[in-house]
Amino acid sequence: MSTPAIVVRDLVRAYGSVRAVDGLSFTVDEGEIFALLGPNGAGKTTTVEILEGYRDRDGGEVSVLGFDPATGGTAYRERIGIVLQSAGFEEEFTVRELVRLQVSLYPRRHDPDELIDLVELGDKRNVRVKALSGGQRRRLDLALGLAGAPGLLFLDEPTTGFDPAARRRAWVLIERLRGLGTTILLTTHYLEEAQRLADRVAVLVAGRLVALSSPEGLRAEGRLPTVISFELPAGATLGGLPALTGPPEAEAGGRTVRVRTHSPLADTGRLTAWALDAGLDLPDLAVEPPTLEDAYLALTGEADDGG
C-alpha cells in the first residue's frame, strides 16, 4: 500500500481566542484529486497555507510528501507546485520565455515546450504575456505551477472568472494531470467543479471537519430528496394529481410543480401513468437527484429554507 501524499493529524491553528483550524485530521492518497470545501472563514486557506509551508501551526502533525512543511525548506518546495487564485506576471516576457525561466529554477523539471503544449498554449508560445486573455493567463499559471514536475499540486480556485466553456476545458486539463499521476489538492467554490473532479471531498465548518467522502458518498449520506418537476397540464389541478410520497408544491404565481421525494421511481411512475390515462402531457418533466451542492449546503447550514 502506498504512503499517503498528505497526512494531517489533530491540526490546530489559533488567532487569539479563535481557532481557525480546530483538531483537523485527514489524509490524501498519491494520485488523488482531493477537494477542500467550506464557507468563508471555515479554515480552508489557513489549512492550505500550513500544508504549503507558508504558515506555522500551533499543534498537531503534518506530513506532505514525507516532509514536515514547517521545516522542509528548499527540498520540500522543490517537490510541490502552487497555483494561486491570482498571480502576477512579467508582462513583457513571452509565454515560452517565462516558462523556460520558471523551469530553470528547479532540479526536477518539465521540458518547457512540452509543458506549454500540455496546457494548450502551443499557439501562444511566442506571444507576450500582456496579450493573453484571462483564460490563457490561468493556463499559464498552471504551467508555471507544474514547472518543477511536482509530486503534489495545490490548486486554489482554478476556474474563477471562467465562462462555462472555458471552465470545462480546464477540467479536462486537470483530469489529464491526474492521469499523469499528479496528486492535486483543490479548493473551489464551484460545487459542480468538485463533483466533476474530486475523488474525495472534505467539508470544513468553523475549523472542524464535518464530512469526508467521495462526492457520491456525500450525496448518499445526506439522504436528501430527489426533485421531480413538471408543468401542470392545462385543466389539471394540484388536487387532481395522483397520491405521491412527497406533497406536490406549485411555485407562487406559476404552474411549475415540484415534488420532493425519496421514492423517485415510484412517484414518476404514478405521475406518468396518471397522465397517460388522462391523455395529458407532462411538459418539462425532469427528475433531478440531489447534487454535491445540495449535500454541501445541508452540511454547512447554508441551505435556503425559504424555498
Q: Which of 104-118, 157-171, 244-258, 289-303 has the highest mean pLDDT?
A: 104-118
Contacting residues for 154 by C-beta, under 8 A, at least 6 apart:
48, 51, 52, 80, 81, 82, 83, 145, 184, 185
pLDDT at 29: 95
Bridge partner residues of 64 (DSSP): 6, 67
**Residue ranges covered by each domain of the chain:** 6-220, 225-289
pLDDT at 267: 95
pTM over 0.85: no
Percent of the chain with pLDDT strictly greater than 70: 96
**Strands 152-156 and 80-83, sheet pairing:** parallel
**CA 54 centroid distance within chain:** 22
Q: Of the CATH numbers 3.30.1490.20, 1.10.150.250, 3.30.70.2190, 3.40.50.300, which one belongs to the domain with range 6-220?
A: 3.40.50.300
Q: Which residue has the higher pLDDT, 291 or 198?
A: 198
Q: Is the pLDDT of residue 126 over 90?
A: yes
E strand or H helix at 117, and its extent?
helix 112-118
Across the range 105-122, mean pLDDT stands at 89
Give 98: exposed, middle or buried? Use CB within 10 Å, 0-12, 13-18, 19+: buried
pLDDT at 87: 66
Q: Residue 253 — pLDDT band, cuts 50, 70, 90?
A: low
User: What is the spatial distance between Cα 275 and Cα 281, in angstroms, rounded to a whole number?
Assistant: 6
Q: Is the pLDDT of residue 303 over 70?
A: no
